[in-house]
Each structure stands twice: as C-alpha cells, then as structure tokens.
Chain A
Amino acid sequence: MTLRMLKAVVLKIGFWALVGVLMLYAIFPFYYAVVTSLKPSSELFEVSYWIDDLDFSNYVAVPSQPAFLAAIRNSVIVAVSVVIIALLLGLTAAWALGRVRFRGRTTVMMLVLGVSMFPQVAVLSGLFEVIRTLDLYNSPGGLILSYTIFTLPFTVWILTTFMRQLPDELEEAAIVDGASPWVTLTKVFMPLLWPAMATTGLLAFIAAWNEFLFALTFTLTDTQRTVPVAIALISGGSQYELPWGPIMAASVIVTVPLVVLVVIFQRRIVSGLTAGAVKG
C-alpha cells in the first residue's frame, strides 16, 4: 500500500520535473532576451538571470529611431499583403484541386509540394533577376512577390486537404440552389474553412514577418527595410560594440504582434490543426 503510494508520488514528481525541463528549454531564450532588453548597456555582460531594477531606456531608444518605425510599417504592409494574396490564391487553387476532377490533378499537387522543397538560397539569384526585371527591387512589392512564392505551396496544400473533407453533397446542394462556383466558394466553403484559413494565414504572417534572407537581399535603403533586417543592422556607438540591449528590446517589441495574433486566433488554430483528424 505505502509502496504503491510512494510509486505514485515519485511518478508525479518525475512528470512535473520533465515538464519543468521542457518549459525551461522552450522559454529560456525568450526569457533571457526580455531580461537583456531591460538592462542598461553598462550591465550587459554581467551574466545574471534576474533583474534587480527595471531599466526601460532601450525601449525608449528603439522606437525613437525613424528607420525602425519605417521598418515596422514595411513589415506590416508586406506580411498583411502576403497573407491576403496567399489566402485568396490558395483558396481558389484549393477549390480547383480539391473539388474539380481533372486529369493531372495529383501531378499538380506533387509539383506544388516539390516547389516548396527548394531552399531559399537556391532560388535567390534567379528571383533577384525576376525582381529586377519587374522593377520591384528595393520595394515592398519584391518582398511580397518572393514571400508569396514560398507561402503559396503550403497554403494550397493545407487548404486543399481541408477542402476535400467537405462533403460533395454540400457543393451539390449549393449548385441545385443555383449558386455559381464563386458564390459556393465564398458563401458555403469559406465560412466552413475559417479554422484552416486562420491557421495557414497566421503561419504565412509569421513566416513573412520573420523572414531575413530575401529581405536583406532585395532591399537597399533604410526606408524599405523590414523589421528583421532593421534589427540586425542596428549598430552601436562604435565598430566594436554590439548593442545587445536595443536589439533585444526591438525583438521583444516586434514579437508582441505575433503573440497577440496567436492569442486571438488560438481557438481557431487548435480546431484548425485537429479538424483534419476526425472526419466531420
């Protein structure tokens, strides 16, 4: 009897210890970023895991730079445009791939998946030529174009998977009611695909918001930069100083919108991620 109780207690302790390790592993880097951002630069290199007194000077310094504000504006424009374009194209493509029977449908799906397997570096120079030709260099348009290329495959793939799960008879009911394909898509399918759209939209937003390589390559001037590049290019007082405090403060500031979005869409995302598991 006592042995069994002991075993239960040990198991419970073990379980929570494991949870603790995982939490530490997942959260510590962010915690350390926040802690660093709240320290004056003079204390930066004293390693400590606790803050004794809050110092908001970094948070005051970062947003007062005009380049940083421009970067945030650019990031918002780029990320929102990518989400809208990707969802619109993804939804219509998913309708065709998930609902219309045509020859070569599987091939198209495989191609879509194949495209998304190339690493960014592989297409960098080619894409650069395209962007130069289209006269989109050093403008948000170039970034929107290149992010959409990388976001569309998974948007199409996920939305197609969800679209296929909607019963055929639902579409036929709409046809009998006199709905055109566009009306069926927007009035019948879209409301039912909301969870999937929220999930894919959010993933596309995060990807566009955090992207660095393209943003660095395809923009030149401070006014056209997006946040990740702007942060990386924050420079200190001299060549020998890396301004960790402002960098961390800027990082925390730009992570807040993502956290807010995730919290808003949390329930949608969970139902979106699990909706595929059980056929409904």
Chain B
Amino acid sequence: MASVTLERVNKRFGSTRVIEDVSLDISDGEFVVFVGPSGCGKSTLLRLIAGLESITHGDLMIDGTRVNHLTPPERGIGMVFQSYALYPHMSVYDNIAFGLKLAKSDRQTVDERVRQTAKILQLDGLLDRLPKALSGGQRQRVAIGRAMAREPRILLFDEPLSNLDAALRVQTRNEIAHLHARLGATMIYVTHDQVEAMTLADRIVVLNEGHVEQTGSPRELYEQPMSRFVAGFIGSPKMNFLTALARAEGDAGCRISIPGIGEHVLPRRLLASERETRLTLGVRPEHLTPTAAAGDAGFNILNVEYLGSEAYLYLETPEGEALVCRTEAPAPFVRGDHVTLDFAPHRAHLFDHDGRALPPVHDAGTEPATAPTTFS
C-alpha cells in the first residue's frame, strides 16, 4: 500500500516526446484508471511508474521517496500485462511462485503465499496445469496472481481485459473491483475503453497525446468535462457536437442559436467580447428530446436502434452532421421521420475553438436542482 506522486514526468523516445509534463497524485489505496485513445502514451506512463522505461525528465515518488532509479521489484510493484505474459513452460504454481523464489523466501513461505493467492483467485484446482491448458479467463487470473503474490505496494494493469470476450470482460471487471476492495492496494489500471474506466475507477486520468487532459471521478468527467476531447471520449454513445453562434448575455450566461434547434440561453460564461462567436455546443444523447415535426422541418431520422430498455435515434442535420438521441423504448418514430430537438440548457456544454469548455456562470454547487420535465 503506497501513494504515488508524479512531478512533471517526461518521456522521450529519440526525439519524439511521448509523455509531456505529467503531474499526478495518487493516494494510498486508490484505484486510478488511465484512459485515452490508442497511442496516447498510457502504456508508456504505466511502464515509467513500473520502472520498465526510464524517465527522461521529472520525478517519480512512491511513499514520498524518489524512486526514479530503482528497479521494478525495489519499487514494490506488481504488473499484469496485456498478453498476460505467463511463463509458458511453468505450471500455474511455478508461475505464481517464480517471483517469490527469486526474492529468496523460504520454501514454506512460498508455498503458503502461492496457495493463499490461488485461493483468493479461485485457482486452487489448477496449480499443476500449464498456461496452455487454461482458458482466457483463467490465464488472466494467473497473471493477476503472479502480480499479487509478492504483496506489492502497487498493482499495475495494462489493458488486462482486452483479450477476453465481452461476457468474460464484464465478469472479470467485477472481480478486479472486488479484489481492490479486498486487498486495499493502490491500483493503476490502463485501458482505452471508457466503460471500463467509468465502472472501475475511483479517479480517472484522461490522457491525450502524452499529456493529462483532465483528472476526476467518473461523475466529474461525465458531467463537467473540461475539454471537448474529454467530453467526446467519455460516454457512449458519444456526446453530440454542433456548431453554434454565441453572444454574451450578462449574468445569465450566453445566448446561442443553432440551425434547426433555435435559440437558448446557456449558463456558461463567455469571456469574449460582445461580438458573436462561433462555438461548439455539446449535448449528450440523453439530454436531447425529440418531438415529431411537421413535414420536412427539423432533422431526418436515418436509423432507429432498439435496445429494449431504450432506443437511439440517429439523426442528420441539414448540414449533414450526425446526431444521436436517446429516447424511451419503444420510440414513437421510424426511419425517415422528421423531428425537432430540444435540450435542457444547463446540461449542455460549450467549447471554444481550442476545445476548452466554457466555465459555468454559477459555481458548480449551485446548479439548478430541478431538471426540466422535458427529459426522458
């Protein structure tokens, strides 16, 4: 159990900067998830923490001690690899025991730890098997067991579920959450899947091209994304983005007008001058309310997806932009219908042309308590 602190950590491969000035504070026992698109540097950041890559610049502290030059075992980390990387020629028992033996534990301690680990992960009956005789889920658990057995202070996971099928992924996700509750170890988990991030994390770190885009609890990221990148990355289906013209409107925020939707006053502070500015409006699918339109007005429905508990309408703006909108199932619309859209202004987000979110006019705590009845 340990806290981890990164101070302006940089990593360069040759001349390409892969990690740029990442600063983070991870407290003891926290479950932190690094999430971001493929190639944004998540694995590299994790490997820097593990000690498998050297830090070009900056400091890494574990429990307040600078560990830049320590080896992975000296740092007290355990790691679960994406491909599991089990030793193919060793039995499950030997895979789990390998690190313990190298740490020169006596035979009895090794045996006790292996059996205890196996019990926690329900591997009791499989100790004599070779990895090739295990299913994907079992291999996954052996990989976790191997990382856990030496009782490391920090457990690192690099996309551990990406090789499992969908059903097993959900199950293993739950097991990892359960394991975290049970061990209380500090865990850092890398994934490109925002659903995994949302469901597992105490705190999510969104990475984009090597820098931290935003950190926060899943709810903070979902409700108050600080950039268009985070807004688009967190949430499924994705947030809708529409071009809007905006003008400051005193204390109330700013007035925007969008073709096909009309004018709304959003409680967002527009710092620019009185002139009209071109901004991006972001609204989540569940915050858009469709109403049947007369004739060819509004938006054309391209497709209706029925999911049982809900339905998604795929719309097209007259300019050809795609929109998604969530309704209760069964939806009273069919393909080819036209709808007009409405949304709750305080649930919408505005982004300037750099992709930064405009701050709310009130402080976060004073958001209107009652949601408009137009929500479904």
A residues near B (Cβ < 8 Å) are: 167, 169-170, 172-179, 183, 187-188, 191-192
Contact = CB atoms under 8 A, between A and B. Distances in A.
B50 interface: yes
Nearest to A188: B87
Interface stretch (B24-32, B95-103, B318-326, B345-353): B95-103
Contacts of B52: 172, 175-176
B87 A173 contact: yes
Nearest to A173: B85
A170 B87 contact: yes
Given A175-B72, A176-B73, A177-B73, A183 B102 contact: yes
Decide if the interface of chain A is mainly helix, strand, loop or mixed: helix
A178 B99 contact: yes
A176 B72 contact: yes
B83 A176 contact: no
12 contacts: A167-B85, A169-B82, A169-B85, A172-B52, A173-B86, A174-B98, A176-B78, A177-B73, A177-B99, A178-B71, A178-B150, A183-B102
Interface residues of B, number: 23
Contacts of B77: 176
B71 A169 contact: no
A181 to B, nearest CB: 12
Interface string B336-359: 000000000000000000000000
Given A170-B85, A177-B73, A179-B102, 9 more contacts: A170-B87, A172-B85, A173-B87, A176-B50, A176-B52, A177-B98, A178-B103, A191-B89, A192-B88
Interface of B: 50, 52, 71-73, 77-79, 81-83, 85-89, 98-99, 102-103, 146-147, 150
Nearest to B104: A178
A205 to B, nearest CB: 24
A134 B368 CA distance: 92
B81 A169 contact: yes
Contacts of A178: 71-73, 99, 102-103, 150
Nearest to A169: B85
A177 B78 CA distance: 8
Contacts of A176: 50, 52, 72-73, 77-79, 99, 147
Nearest to A183: B102
A183 B104 CA distance: 13
Contacts of B89: 191-192
Nearest to B99: A177
Contacts of B147: 176
Nearest to A191: B89
A174 B85 CA distance: 9
A174 B71 CA distance: 12
Contact of A173 (B71, B81, B103, B150): B81
B146 A177 contact: yes
A170 B102 CA distance: 16
A179 B90 CA distance: 15
Contacts of B103: 178
Contacts of B98: 174, 177, 179, 187
Rank and list the top 6 A-B pairs by shortest CB-CB distance, nearest first.
A177-B99, A178-B73, A169-B85, A173-B85, A191-B89, A169-B81
